[in-house]
Structure 1
Amino acid sequence: MRVGASARLPLSGWLLAALMFSAAAQAAPGVVVEIDGLDDERLRHNVEAFLDIESAVGKPLPTDARVHWLHAQATAEIHAALEPFGYYSPQIDAELQRSDDGGWRAVYRIDAGQPVRVRDFDVVISGAAAQDAPFAALLDRQALHAGAVFEHSAWEDLKSALQGLATERGYFEARIERAEVIVDPDAGAADVHFHLDSGRRYRFGELSFRQDFLKDSLLRRYNRIKPGDPYDAAALIDLQSALNDADYFSTVELDAGPDRADGDVVPIDVRLEPRKRKRYDFGLGYGTDTGPRGRIGYQDRWVNSLGHKINSDLRVSTIKSTLSAEYVIPGNDPRTEQVAIRAGADYENSSTKWSQTAVIGISKQVQLTSAWQRIVALDEQVERFRQDNGDTETVALLIPSLSFTRLHADDKLNVKRGDRLTFKLRGAAEPLLSDLSFAQFSAGAKRVQPLGDDARLLVRLDAGTTWTSDLERLPTSIRFYAGGDNSVRGYAYESIGPRNAKGDVIGGKNTVVGSVEYEHRVVGDWSVASFVDAGDAFNDSMSLKIGAGIGLRWASPIGPIRLDLAHGFDDPGDAFRIHFTLGPDL
């Protein structure tokens, strides 16, 4: 080797050196901590968190003095770690040993013993809240009670919950007179003392709105708080939610804090910022029933200071186009009631029907409960359609209708559990501005049931029946058809039903359609499905048509997207038919 030249280590030498360093590092003496005797993972994890000696594990070996000092603190730290769970008298065997490699091995054998239980549960609510039922209900729900294991977290939860409830219900002068726990480890008992003097309960004062585009008379119909009512934060949240749901406002802020009180009366100040008044919607899509389709929507959120609205919608596809508009008037209770004056026109030209329909009418919608909705309507309908014999006919009908809908779902966009029920009764009488008489009742039900974390069962049943004085002149929009994406898959759109002499489907007086579908998630938001559908549209005797197949599902941000491959087992079913749909399951 020449003087001044640098020596180069081959690659294999570097690898060997690295391995030797790694082995040396692994073999370096250190501190090992063992905890025995605690089967409850909560206790074990808390002991590990409290033990300072655990901080030396996996690090360079501390000095002997440091290790001995850490070990000496361990017994007190274990006591402190177990007490929050009610264990005040544990038996601890602590041992510190030199290990063969020169490090240290700390072993703690722990018998937690019996937990301390609540002996005297002395919780007293005085003042106006003593007669306020929610306080008694809260105490009934608490984990801390006589005979329960005394856990510190339950004690903190109790204090926090009572103070929070006092604030929510307007006891702004509430004060804690006593809050202590006396623990007797020898007796295995804890005496809990919490005394809360609520003082007086504040009341609501006058309500004022800060906005300049809607009449106060409309906004006050959303409010259910009366001056003098006892203060309740839940009532404020309810009012804020109702105003948000009204679709008029981008911002809803309520100021009703105790700092605004005059004596024990708290006025309510509501600040409202308007949303954009006009809204436009555009959409393009495709469905195997309709083919390519497009949509244009327009909404005027408030036509005037009374909060009246205009909604209009144009939908165009290769087989069916609709134009609709409605003028919506808030009801006496605008949260749950609205009246709509509506008009619309439909044009349909499919393989099974041809019709032109114009409708004008009025309806009243009432939200009966959080799930049930009722709609009463009266429509004047004029429909020009192709009769069973191929001739065209124009029929005018004055149709009153009554419908009830129940919808309950954990997530209305992507449902994991929920159900839908619908009932509708409608008809017309020939003497009352109608060219014929009919009465029709229809009902539908659908259930989405989870099967574990990754599967769902979807069951659907729809049925309807019609009486009419003249079946041949009954408009096609009132007849029943089956087959298609949302009916019996494996069959073309509305291809199932009674036929005329030419073999054309003309629709029937009755229908029954059912479906059972199993869906299983495979990865992320993707699922596979298998299904069996059955149904018929008929006049006198039913002959169920069966369809079955498999499908792919994607729970997209805009709702479920479904792609199905189905086989129709009966005439006029297809050997294989693709169905593509988008939208909520309920």
Structure 2
Amino acid sequence: MSFNKSNHKHCSCRHLLSAVSFAPVTSTFTNAISKSFVLDSIKKSLLSIALSSVLMCIALSACSSEGKPLKIKSGVDDPVSIEVKGVKSEEVEQNINAYLATLPTISKSRARLYSREITDKITTAMHSFGYYHPTVTLDFPKKERLFDRSLKANVDLGKPLFIRNCQIEVIGEGAYYSSFAKIIDESGLKSYTLLRHGNYEKLKEDLKSRALEIGFFDAKIISSRILVYKEQNVADIQLVFDTGKRYQFATVIADAKTKELMQPSLSLQNFVEGEYFSSKKLSDYTSALSQTNFYKSVDVRPLVEEKKDGKIPVSVALERQSKNLFRVGLGYSTDESVRGILAWDKPLINSKGHSFSSYFRVSSIKQDAQAIYKIPHKNPNLDYFYIKLAQTHTDFNDTLSDLSHASFHYVANMTGVWRRDYYLALEYEDFIQGLEKDKALNLTPGVIFSRRTTTGGLDPKTGYSISFDNRFGTQAVTDANFFRSELVIKGVFSPTERTRVLYKLMQGGIFGSDANKVPPSMRFFVGGEQTLRGFGYKTQSSRRLGYLTGSRYLTAGTLEYMFPVGIENSRGAVFLDSAICTNSYSKDKSVLYGPGIGFRYMSKYGTFKVDLAYGIDNKNDNRQFKLHLSFGPEF
């Protein structure tokens, strides 16, 4: 028997055949040897194959990078790009391109082999929009043109399919709910309209989502089909949605720790057992709990898996906020230069929801401290009392003042429209204002009306805020008879997706026989980043012998346009500020102007603003450039 070792590494099967072919089968002994040899050869062959497989796996693993699969290049040196022509609808074209993107890379030399695949992808993509009879003509790149790699797909949409019969039915307990009818109307699916598969799928999802929002947890689609008749160019739609039964709120489930923490915020619960379920109510309840600042974390959720007998329990889990919160900050603005703040808060003092907050701020021109003790009444967020104590020292321009303040407030906002802050303030101020040196003690009742609405976030698209502060004093309990009123309106809107228009309006006045005797903290000054750019912080008001005195009246406005500048999260700005700050509109009609340009960078912490304004004072023939830096919300 001949055995060639050199051939063994190439094909073990050949050795097996060779052994069988040349072995003389003459006796039982030789036959046994032959069988033994065959079995041995098979074992060696299988072992060789297994060893080769293992070595191949090791080699492939070694070729991979950091355990990632080996990426095999397509090897296409002349890929073509497919350009769709003849489709006017951007939405349809985008869908076609999305389908074409699933094709492999196609080389110029083999492009014609993919004709059917390309045509099928385009045709299928158009079915979603009701076009079942498109004509697709492909223009392949010329071989003789070396750099021509554009494959043009010329598409004739053909006639779209119309909906002939549209039967959409809602059954169950929610059959007569207007919210479901509204969703169906807004879907655009009705007889004699174009067929849009996307609208049909969206309708099904919207119905199911709405059902879950209002407590139809057993809602399901019983029948759903679109019958397409290509020859007649029509389609029939049938959809039956069964809402099932609407669930009600069951009991609130909470552990002992959470039940104790819920005590100061029991008035915030906006649902009761037996009331129909609403996910919006749970969302509002969660927001209200978070707004109290009593809790570090708030988790409110329906226990869908535990629903039974038409009721669904609600789980509430609360984690108490830290007993003491400290905050240290350092900032800079051109109005106050470098400034620092140290704040100390106690968010939850007792089971009644009392809280305490305080801060100390210092800058080169002002140092002030404030402490507030808050006592909930009917609602810890919307209806409460608070006591405020404050001390302020001011030393800049022609003002030197020490102001002590104590006030008692009642805030009512249960209507959810206007926030009303009724207060009684006692203030003592020792001041020097220009050439005037005096002391004032005033006990003044007042009220602040305010409201704010916005699309939310640090960069709102639309929104506005209004604050209207009114207070008065009488010589029966104060040093002067006066009435002081100040209105501030701020807002923003978006002409386009990436542009913003910001506006501000301030109007203030001090009236009464002793209006000129009120202390500097109640008078009006203008200038700076918040009121009139182009001028220093509160450097403009009425004057006496060249010294600032403060004014009885203030009218100020801002109009600002912000636009993209090609840098991510940034905008440019052009603006015009204007103001009149005077003791008499009839005697002093001079208007101050502050046109300028600016840059805005929107970070997740707030907006950083740089403004260069040109201050124009026609009365004093004073004109100057002023740079303003600030950080904070737009309004």
Query: Same-fold call, TM > 0.5?
Result: yes
Give matches, 1:136-175, under 5 Å.
136-175=181-220
Looking at structure 2, the residues matched to 291 and 48 of structure 1 have their Cα atoms a distance apart, in angstroms, of: 55
The residue aligned with 2:328 is: 282
The residue aligned with 2:371 is: 325
The residue aligned with 1:85 is: 129
Displacement of 1:138: 1.1
* Structure 1 residues 40-63: Cα deviation after superposition (integer angstroms, max 9, x where no partner): 45555655666799646217749x
Q: Of the candidates 430, 439, 461, which is equivalent to residue 384 of structure 1?
A: 430
Give secondary structure in 2 for the equivalent of 1:131: coil
Instruction: Give identity over the alignment, percent.
Output: 23
Give matches, 1:480-491, under 5 Å.
480-491=524-535
Displacement of 1:271: 0.8
Pair 1:567 & 2:632 matched:
no
Give matches, 1:446-525, under 5 Å.
446-452=490-496, 455-471=499-515, 473-500=517-544, 502-524=545-567, 525=570
Looking at structure 1, the residues matched to 516 and 121 of structure 2 have their Cα atoms a distance apart, in angstroms, of: 90
Give secondary structure in 2 for the equivalent of 1:374: strand
Against the structure 1 CA distance between its residues 578 and 204, is the aligned structure 2 distance closer, same or farther, given a 3 Å change threshold?
same
Displacement of 1:192: 1.0
Looking at structure 1, the residues matched to 469 and 204 of structure 2 have their Cα atoms a distance apart, in angstroms, of: 52
Displacement of 1:202: 0.9
Do the aligned residues in 2 keep the contact of 1:368 with 1:374 (CA within 8 Å)? Answer: no
Give matches, 1:247-396, under 5 Å.
247-367=293-413, 372-386=418-432, 390-393=436-439, 395-396=440-441
The residue aligned with 2:449 is: 404
Q: Which amino acid aligns with 1:185?
A: K
The residue aligned with 1:527 is: 572
Displacement of 1:300: 0.9
The gaps in structure 1 that reach 5 residues or longer are 1-24
Give secondary structure in 2 for the equivalent of 1:240: helix
Number of aligned positions between the proteins = 552
Give matches, 1:101-250, under 5 Å.
111-210=156-255, 212=257, 214-250=260-296
The residue aligned with 1:21 is: none
Give secondary structure in 2 for the equivalent of 1:129: coil
Q: Which amino acid aligns with 1:315?
A: R
Displacement of 1:438: 1.4
Do the aligned residues in 1 keep the contact of 2:612 with 2:625 (CA within 8 Å)? Answer: no
Against the structure 1 CA distance between its residues 292 and 100, is the aligned structure 2 distance closer, same or farther, given a 3 Å change threshold?
closer
Give secondary structure in 2 for the equivalent of 1:212: helix
Q: Which amino acid aligns with 1:466?
A: I
Do the aligned residues in 1 keep the contact of 2:213 with 2:278 (CA within 8 Å)? Answer: yes
Looking at structure 2, the residues matched to 527 and 405 of structure 1 have their Cα atoms a distance apart, in angstroms, of: 30
Give secondary structure in 2 for the equivalent of 1:575: strand
Against the structure 1 CA distance between its residues 299 and 529, is the aligned structure 2 distance closer, same or farther, given a 3 Å change threshold?
same
Q: Which amino acid aligns with 1:143?
A: G
Displacement of 1:439: 0.9
Looking at structure 2, the residues matched to 51 and 539 of structure 1 have their Cα atoms a distance apart, in angstroms, of: 73
Against the structure 1 CA distance between its residues 187 and 523, is the aligned structure 2 distance closer, same or farther, given a 3 Å change threshold?
closer
Looking at structure 2, the residues matched to 389 and 80 of structure 1 have their Cα atoms a distance apart, in angstroms, of: 85
Against the structure 1 CA distance between its residues 415 and 112, is the aligned structure 2 distance closer, same or farther, given a 3 Å change threshold?
closer
The residue aligned with 1:580 is: 629
Report the aligned-residue RMSD.
3.6
Residue range with higher mean Cα deviation, 75-84 or 527-536:
75-84
Pair 1:435 & 2:484 matched:
no
Against the structure 1 CA distance between its residues 106 and 475, is the aligned structure 2 distance closer, same or farther, given a 3 Å change threshold?
closer
Q: Which amino acid aligns with 2:312?
A: V
Do the aligned residues in 2 keep the contact of 1:568 with 1:576 (CA within 8 Å)? Answer: no
| Alignment TM-score, normalising by the size of structure 2 | 0.77
Against the structure 1 CA distance between its residues 148 and 326, is the aligned structure 2 distance closer, same or farther, given a 3 Å change threshold?
same
Q: Which amino acid aligns with 1:459?
A: Y
Looking at structure 1, the residues matched to 285 and 512 of structure 2 have their Cα atoms a distance apart, in angstroms, of: 48
Do the aligned residues in 2 keep the contact of 1:257 with 1:266 (CA within 8 Å)? Answer: yes
The gaps in structure 2 that reach 5 residues or longer are 1-75
Displacement of 1:323: 1.0
Against the structure 1 CA distance between its residues 55 and 322, is the aligned structure 2 distance closer, same or farther, given a 3 Å change threshold?
closer
* Structure 1 residues 167-190: Cα deviation after superposition (integer angstroms, max 9, x where no partner): 222222233322122222222221
Looking at structure 2, the residues matched to 106 and 392 of structure 1 have their Cα atoms a distance apart, in angstroms, of: 87
Do the aligned residues in 2 keep the contact of 1:568 with 1:575 (CA within 8 Å)? Answer: yes
Do the aligned residues in 1 keep the contact of 2:532 with 2:578 (CA within 8 Å)? Answer: yes
Displacement of 1:472: 5.1
Do the aligned residues in 2 keep the contact of 1:371 with 1:408 (CA within 8 Å)? Answer: no
Q: Which amino acid aligns with 1:512?
A: T
* Structure 1 residues 420-462: Cα deviation after superposition (integer angstroms, max 9, x where no partner): 322121112222x323221112212234344545654433321
Displacement of 1:140: 1.5
Residue range with higher mean Cα deviation, 92-101 or 363-372:
92-101
